[in-house]
Amino acid sequence: QILHLDVLCNECGNCATFCPYDGKPYKDKLTLFATKEDFKNSTNNGFMVTGSFGNRLITLRLNNNLWKLKLNKHGKLIPVDSPCPKDYDVKELKKTSAIISTILKDYHYLINDSVN
């Protein structure tokens, strides 16, 4: 499991009990949120996608930092208005952006187009 789908989870903890890996997937994995309300009410690292296809805006929470990202013409995510804090691990942001880019490209059916 690479991605936690918030809309399918009630955070009951069963996945932590039966997961063959250490940790709690619903807390430790990157979360895809289907609604702004769910994103706002969570503390999980994760993201939500707003806007229509071709004009997507990604709001990402990563280690208590909020980022606004968009796809450039090469299909890479770039920050819109969120400068990197000096002490921030840029490698982690790049790794997370690569996961999100893959989801947008290859698993777009997971994105709720009604979130605006």
Tens of pLDDT, residue by residue over 49-86, are 998 767 889 999 998 888 899 888 777 888 887 666 66
Residue at 79 is within a domain: yes
Residue at 84 is within a domain: yes
pLDDT score at 60: 94
Domain range for residue 24? 3-110
Residue at 72 is within a domain: yes
Q: How many residues does the chain have?
A: 116
Half-sphere exposure of 51 (CA within 13 A, CB side): 13
Residue at 40 is within a domain: yes
Residue at 115 is within a domain: no
Q: pTM higher than 0.95, yes or no? A: no
Residue 15 to residue 94: CA distance in whole angstroms: 27
Residue at 92 is within a domain: yes
Give how many domains the chain has, as a whole number.
Answer: 1
Q: Read off the pLDDT band of 31 (50, 70, 90).
A: very high
Residue at 70 is within a domain: yes
- 80 forms bridges with which residues in the sheet? none
